[in-house]
Amino acid sequence: MRMKIADIRKKTKDEEYDLSLHAHQERQEEQITITEIEKALLKGDIIEKYSEDKRGESCLIAGKVNRGEYLHVVCGMRGNRLLIVTVYRPKLPVWIDYKTRRKELKYRV
């Protein structure tokens, strides 16, 4: 099944989603609210797709949750429900901005 933003939004609106233990822990550590997660899923866009993930297809959604503040949500379908795998606020050193992943630094030997 190809993940589509329309399907993700419908599952979110219908509250047909679950948070993994990891997502719940990250949410607490970064003080991310359920409202922010839902807003990112409802208004955001898929910026990366992980179709080869051994646990099943998933994707990364970036959505604006507050003025100038974005949230990343990695999610996939598990059975008939949306599973939120992890949530975090994109920041350096991994993210240059909310949709640009920093390229790996090449080290010389």
Please state the pTM of the whole predicted model: 0.88
Residue pair 74/92 in contact (Cβ under 8 Å)? The answer is no
For residue 46, the number of C-alpha atoms closer than 13 Å in the C-beta half-sphere is 17
The residues, ordered by sequence, that sit 6+ positions from 14 with a Cβ below 8 Å of its Cβ are: none
- Is residue 22 within a helix (H) or strand (E), and if so which, with residue range? helix 21-29
**Tens digits of per-residue pLDDT, 26-65?**
999 999 999 999 999 999 999 999 988 777 899 999 999 9
Q: Is 107 part of any domain? A: no
Whichever domain contains 60, its CATH number is 3.30.2310
Q: What is the pLDDT of residue 92?
A: 82
Angle at 46 between CA 63 and CA 44, to 5 degrees: 25
Number of domains in the chain: 1
Residue 106 counted as domain residue: no
The DSSP string of 42-96 is HH-EEEEEETT-TT--EEEEEEEEETTEEEEEEEEEETTEEEEEEEE---TTTEE
pLDDT at 104 (0 to 100): 65
Its domain, for residue 56, covers 5-101
